[in-house]
Structure 1
Amino acid sequence: MIPEPSSFASGSSHRVALFPQPTSDFEKLEDMLADAIGAARDAVQHAPMLDYECFKPLQTWMADIEKCIDQGRLLSPDFRRPCDAALSSLRKNQPSADAASAHEHMTNGLATALQLSYRVSDLLAAERDIGWHRGVGRQ
Structure 2
Amino acid sequence: MIPEPSTFASGSSHRVALFPQPTSDFERLEDMLADAISAARDAVQHAALIDYELYKPIQALMKDVEKQVDLGRLLTDDFRRPCGAAWSSLSQSRPSADAAAAHEHMTDRLATALRLSHRVNDLLAAERDIGWRRGVGR
Shorter-chain TM-score category? 0.7 to 0.9
SS at the partner of 2:55?
Answer: helix
Residue 79 (structure 2) aligns with: 79
Change (3 A) 1:15 1:94: closer
Change (3 A) 1:95 1:6: farther
- Letter aligned with residue 56 of structure 1: K
Q: List gaps (5 residues or longer) in structure 1.
A: none
SS at the partner of 1:46?
Answer: helix
Q: Deviations over 1:52-100 (max 9, x none)?
A: 1111111120111000000110000000000011011101211000000
Residue 121 (structure 2) aligns with: 121
Q: List gaps (5 residues or longer) in structure 2.
A: none
- Letter aligned with residue 49 of structure 1: L
TM-score by structure 2 length?
0.88
Residue 109 (structure 1) aligns with: 109
**What is the aligned-residue identity percentage?**
76
| Distance of 2:51 and 2:38 partners within structure 1 | 23
| Distance of 2:6 and 2:50 partners within structure 1 | 47
- Letter aligned with residue 106 of structure 1: M
Structure 1 segments of 4+ aligned residues over 2 angstroms from their partners: 5-9, 13-19
Aligned length: 132
